[in-house]
Structure formats: structure tokens, C-alpha cells
Amino acid sequence: MQGEVRIDKLVKTYETRQRKGLIKSEMKLVEALKGVSLSIRPGEVFGLLGPNGAGKTTLIKCLTTLLLPTSGEAWINGYRLTKDDNAIRATVGCMLMGERGLYWKLTARENLEFFGALYHLSPRARRTRADGIIERLSLGDIADRTVETYSSGQKMKLAFAKALINDAPLLILDEPTNTLDLPSARELRAVVRELNRDGKTVIYTTHIMAEAETMCDRVAIIDRGEVLALGTVPELKASLGREEVTRIEGVISAGANEAVGRLAGVSHTALTAVNGHTQLTVVSADQRALLPRLIEALVAHNALVQKIAPEEVTLEDVFIARTGRTLAEDTAVK
Amino acid sequence: MTANTTQTEILRGPAAWLSALAAMAWKELTIMVRYPVEFIASFGQVFVIVTVLTLAGLMFSKGGADNAGASSQTAGLVVYGFIIFIFLSDTLWTIGYNVRREQKQGTLEQLYLSPASKFASLLSRVAVTLVWTGLLSVCSAVLMSVLIGTLPFHNVALGAAILALALSGTFGVGFAFAALTLRVREAGQTAANFFQFVFMLLCAPFFPFSGLPDWLRVVSRLIPLSYSVDAFRSTMMGYPNGYPELAPIGVEIGIVAAFGVLMPLLGYWLYKREEDRARRKGSISDY
């Protein structure tokens, strides 16, 4: 069915060479996807949320036929992966690698028309389609300048425009707002919502929790090649049960973090650097009962506390509760 | 802009293939023209190379420059060898280099995201090479004949057929080098450079095979490109005494024809193999 994606136990392993000095090296097997299974319904915006290195891009590259999976199966728009690859390519619009993937010596219009030809559009259809996209994304002022003269944000916008050239029922967008300033990111998200209202299914990867919360009908939290949780945003938040989140800002050492993690009632903690200070996120069952012991543990480890506050559960807290890490931390795939 | 693609908007079959090929070739030409300094320099440097090679060849030829310059046979030998050399050189550099350049800038990945033919993509680079190198080789041939002597023109139709088969084989070598570039990246270009010099020595494009030591001529006979050079220039020179040098012309044409048909198939097979490997490893967009 158009716009539908079904993934069944998809596995991707790589061999990577580990250098041992000048000449010696040994091969190491990396499991980038460990039997991922999920279904994406036609017409939904489906978020893939996870830190860098979690396996989001590997999954997307498999679904777009760029990578051959090691095992498992997938059906995209009703076509079977590895069997009907050209049909999949024709029916998927894809934005990968941000501003890379454009011809910098061509103009936006020339780029769009060229990529239209790769999707076998007739010359007239290429021109019409390119004009429509340029108008929709307000690229008119720069459409006839070579891409090399564009700002980073303009290149990202053109990369997004390119994903629309084949008018595919399924759009796959890999971190599309990376490097965009806030107004441009907001504008791009609005267009994605419009396209979704027009009936397109969207797969949207991000490591920005707020973006996933506002954009996606359902979200899969992915880490170390595995889907840790899947559901609507309210469902995922509710999955923390009666657990609550306390955030402490200040100067907090790793030792203090460990001490808090050992306190009774604390299920997870995560320490991150935010705007020049550290932030400790504590997921616990009973915030009120925990607070005196929490402060005591912090003081005992010379923590300088600037702010301590109970907070609403976010998708990031769901991630912390399941992994003990924050989305800002890169994942070392094992 | 809903999913409203009509049947008339999408090309199918050979029309789709040819349209994509034309768009790819046009894109290559457009980009080439938009690097004017590189465009002019690469055009100009060929004439400098041609002049240096020609003058050096004349200096060391029997009887010196005066004698050699008067000889139409010398002109044919060097100019027709040069034409094969310049096509081989451009093919080795252009196809592999372009594949690597696109890999680095991320556009190769975009090609693989689309249903467009990957063979058409390789062919588009060949098309550009044909236009560009064809122009260069004609201009160089004129310059060389001015420097050395009048070019002999015999059996033009057969000569053109031999050249076409030789170029087909050369493009096959280019596909194989594109495969090598996918595997070893920049090192593929160093290998192309090495191969180019080996060709200059063993396939004797600028001197007769009789100029090679006997043991080296044995190695030359194992390389199909040697027969392309020998058959093409012998035919265009009207088979003067002692030419072709490596085998009777019928045998040479047979070898050139087999090379012209089989090498593109082998080259493309190698490229497909390397492409599959890159899809397994995820290295299609390796920087």
C-alpha cells in the first residue's frame, strides 16, 4: 500500500577495520541494527528519535536501498526491499546528508530539473514540478543562482526541495532542520505538516526531543540498533508510569551523579552539559520523599546547586529511563 | 503538490533511459564549462604536452629532426598513436575521477536514491569524454601534423571502425577504473596515472613497437590495447612495409573487436560488483 512501511527483524552488521599501529589491523563486527521491527501507517508522521550513532540513519539507508541489510525483510509502499528496489526508489522522496548531495555549480532550478530527470519525469513535468517547489518553498530569489553562493540554510532548503521532486507518497527526512536557524526550521516543519495533510507519509529522524514531540504522530525511540519504545508521544510519556522527573542545574560532578543514582527510589540519572553548566536529570518514583536525601547527597559531593525543580516528563526522560543516557550523548554502537 | 503524478509526466522504457542519459551528460558539460580556468588550462596543456612529446620524439629519431620531419610515416605513427593515448588517458581520469568527486560531494548517493540507470550515469561521462577528447584529439592531430609532416589518410572507414572498437574497449577500462576508485578512493587515480605511463611504454603510442627491446615486446603482445594502437595507425597509414608490427591485420582487428565488445561488459560487471560491495559496506557516500 502507498505510504506504508513494514519492517521485520531488520539486521545490519558491518565489518570495520580497527587499526593497530602502522601496518597491523583487525576486522571488527559492528551490529548497527539488531532485528528492528516496526510498522508505519499511511499518512502518519513517524519519528525516529535517538542519539547520534543510534542506528537511525542506518535504518533509513536500508529503507532507501542505499544499504543492503544483512538479514530481515521490509516492504515500502507495497514493494519488497532488495527485490523491487527501483520501484521503491521511484516512490520515496528522500533528504539525507543535509546540504551535501547538491551540485554546487548548478542553480537550484537546474538541480531540481536534473533530479527530476533521474526520476524519469518528462522535460515539461520537470520544469513544472521545479517551478511549483520553488514557489512553495519561497526559493524564487535564489533559484537561478548557483548553489555555491547559498548560505547553509538555503542549501538545506534546496536539499529538502529535492526530496519533493518525484512527488512521492513517502517522504524520508533525516534530521532536516540540522544547521537551520530557528525561523527556517519552523518554516520547514510547517511545510512538512502541510505535505502530511496532503496525504504524504513522513518518516522524520531527529535527536531533538521537542521536534519529535511537536511533529510526530508516533515515535520510535531507537538506541544501539534497537527499538526501545514505540508509540504516540502521550503513550511513551505514560510508559514511565508513576515515575517523576527532577532536574538540577549547577556544578555537579560525576561522583555526585553516581551517589544520587545509588539513592533508594531513584531509577535513572543522567548528567549533561547545558549552556556552560551541568544538568542532572533524576527519574524517581516519589519525588517528594526523595528531595531531602537528594540534596544531602549533592552537598556531600560538593555540588553547587543553582536550580532544582520538578518537571514534566519529556521524551528525553523516556530515553533516559530506558538507557541511563541523554539524547545529547553519542552512542557507541557495540 | 499532492501525489498527482500522471502517466504522461513519467517517461518509461528507452525514453526514460535516454532522457536521464541526456540530462546527466548535459549536467557534466554544464559543470565543466562553469570551471573556466580548469576548462581552458586542460585544453591548453594538451597542446604543450603534444609539442614537448613531438619535439622530443623528433630529436631522438633516426637521422634527427630534419629527416623525421619530412616523413609522413612518422607523423602517422605519432599522431594516430596519440589519439588512442589521449582517449585512454582522459577515460581513465575522467570516469573514475568523476565517480570519486560525486562520492565526495554526496551526489553519487543521490543517484543511488533514484531509479535512474547507473549504467547511463557511467555512459554520460563517456559521452562528455567523447565530445571533449574528440575535440582535443582533432586539434592535437592538426598541431602535430604541422610540427611533423602531412598525415597519411588511408582506409578511413576501416580506420574509424577500428578506432570505435578501440574506444569501446578503452571505455571498458574506464569502467574498471571507476570500480577501482569506488574501492580504493583517491588511490584509484594514482593507479590510473601509473597505468597511463605503462600504456605509454608498452603500447608504444609514440614510437614503433620495433623500438622496444624484444623481451618487452613480448609483454606488449599480451595487452589488447597494443593491438588497438598498431591496427589503427597501420590502417590509417595504408599498411606501409613492416606494419602492422604485432600480428597480421585480420588477427589484430579480431583482437580489437573482442576487446571492444568484452571489455565494457567486464568493466561494467566489475563496477556493479564494487557497487554491491559499497551498498553492503555503506561506503557509497564515503568522504
Q: What is the pLDDT of residues B243-254, one digit of tens each?
A: 999 999 999 999
State the average pLDDT over residues B209-229. Answer: 94
| Chain B residues inside the 8 Å CB shell of A97 | 106, 109, 285
State the average pLDDT over residues B267-281. Answer: 93
> How confident is the model at residue A102, as a pLDDT?
94
Compare CB distances from B107 to A61, A103, A133 and report the shortest one's residue: A103
Reported as a single tens digit per residue, the pLDDT across B156-213 is 999 999 999 999 999 999 999 999 999 988 888 888 889 888 998 999 988 899 989 9
Q: Does B241 touch chain A (CB under 8 A)?
A: no
> How confident is the model at residue B254, as a pLDDT?
97
Q: Is the pLDDT at B82 greater than 50, yes or no? A: yes
Query: Is B19 in contact with A123 (Cβ distance < 8 A)?
Result: yes
> How confident is the model at residue B3, as a pLDDT?
45
> How confident is the model at residue B61, as a pLDDT?
60
State the average pLDDT over residues A273-287. Answer: 83
Q: B47 is in which domain, residue-wise?
A: 19-281
Residue B220 maps to a domain: yes
Count A/B contacts: CB-CB distance under 8 Å: 130
CB burial string A199-209: b at 16+ within 10 A, e below: ebbbbbbbbbb
> How confident is the model at residue A86, as a pLDDT?
94
Measured distance CA(B85)–CA(B81) in Å, rounded: 6
First to last CA, chain B: 34
Q: Is the pLDDT at B278 greater than 80, yes or no? A: yes
Q: Does B279 touch chain A (CB under 8 A)?
A: yes
Residue B172 maps to a domain: yes
| Contact status, residue A211 vs residue A189, Cβ threshold 8 Å | yes
Query: Is A198 in contact with B12 (Cβ distance < 8 A)?
Result: no
Q: Is the pLDDT at A180 greater than 90, yes or no? A: no
> How confident is the model at residue B8, as a pLDDT?
60
pTM for this prediction: 0.84
> How confident is the model at residue A207, as a pLDDT?
82
Cell of residue A174, nine digits: 533525516
> How confident is the model at residue A330, as a pLDDT?
57
Reported as a single tens digit per residue, the pLDDT across A76-116 is 999 999 999 999 999 999 998 777 889 999 999 999 999 99
> How confident is the model at residue B258, as a pLDDT?
98
Task: Categorize the per-residue pLDDT at B1 as very low, low, confident or very high, splitting at 50, 70 and 90.
Answer: very low
Q: Which helix (H) or strand (E) holds B193?
A: helix B187-202
Reported as a single tens digit per residue, the pLDDT across A183-235 is 889 999 999 999 999 999 999 998 888 888 899 999 999 999 999 999 999 99
Cell of residue B172, nine digits: 571498458
> How confident is the model at residue A220, as a pLDDT?
95
Least confident of A160-164, B53-57, B65-69, B82-86: B65-69
Residue B6 maps to a domain: no
Task: Categorize the per-residue pLDDT at B63 as very low, low, confident or very high, splitting at 50, 70 and 90.
Answer: low
Closest Cα in chain B, distance from residue A104 (Å) = 9
State the average pLDDT over residues A273-294. Answer: 85
Q: For residue B45, how far is the Cα from the chain centroid?
A: 17
Contacts of A46 (CB under 8 A, 6+ apart): A5, A40, A201, A202, A203, A204, A216, A217, A218, A219, A220
Query: Is A167 in contact with B1 (Cβ distance < 8 A)?
Result: yes
| Chain A residues inside the 8 Å CB shell of B276 | 68
Residue B224 maps to a domain: yes
Q: Is the pLDDT at A247 greater than 80, yes or no? A: yes
| Mean pLDDT for all residues in chain B | 86
Residue B218 maps to a domain: yes
Reported as a single tens digit per residue, the pLDDT across A24-34 is 888 888 899 99
Q: Is the pLDDT at A324 greater than 80, yes or no? A: no
| Contact status, residue B80 vs residue B138, Cβ threshold 8 Å | no
> How confident is the model at residue B111, as a pLDDT?
93
In the block, which residue shows the cell 516492504? A75
Q: DSSP secondary structure string, A127-163?
A: HHHHHHHHHHTT-TTTTTSBGGGS-HHHHHHHHHHHH
Closest Cα in chain B, distance from residue A15 (Å) = 8
Residue, of B196 and A128, whose pLDDT is higher: A128
| % of chain B with per-residue pLDDT over 70 | 91
| Chain A residues inside the 8 Å CB shell of B22 | 117
> How confident is the model at residue A95, as a pLDDT?
94
- Domains in chain A with CATH codes: 5-237 (3.40.50.300), 242-312 (3.30.70.260)
| Chain B residues inside the 8 Å CB shell of A100 | 105-106, 285
Taking the CA atoms of B228, B230, B231 and B232 in sequence, report the sign of the dihedral they define: positive
Residue A258 in 3-state DSSP?
A: helix
Q: Does B10 touch chain A (CB under 8 A)?
A: yes
- Please give the ipTM for the structure prediction: 0.84
Compare CB distances from A122 to B11, B279, B284 and report the shortest one's residue: B11
In the block, which residue shows the cell 532550478? A109
Listed residue (A239, A262, A256) closest to A314, CA to CA? A239
Residue, of B260 and A178, whose pLDDT is higher: B260
Query: Is A64 in contact with B113 (Cβ distance < 8 A)?
Result: yes
Single-letter amino acid, residue B178: A
State the average pLDDT over residues B226-239. Answer: 95
> How confident is the model at residue B69, as a pLDDT?
46
Task: Categorize the per-residue pLDDT at A325 as very low, low, confident or very high, splitting at 50, 70 and 90.
Answer: confident
Contacts of B131 (CB under 8 A, 6+ apart): B29
| Mean pLDDT for all residues in chain A | 90
Taking the CA atoms of B144, B149, B150 and B156 in sequence, report the sign of the dihedral they define: negative
Number of domains in chain B: 1
- Please state the three-class secondary structure of B227-267 as a single string: HHHHHHHHHHCCCCCCCCCCCCHHHHHHHHHHHHHHHHHHH
Q: Is the pLDDT at B45 greater than 90, yes or no? A: no
Q: What angle do CA A256, A50, A234 make, to 5 degrees?
A: 90
Single-letter amino acid, residue A97: M
Query: Is B23 in contact with A118 (Cβ distance < 8 A)?
Result: yes
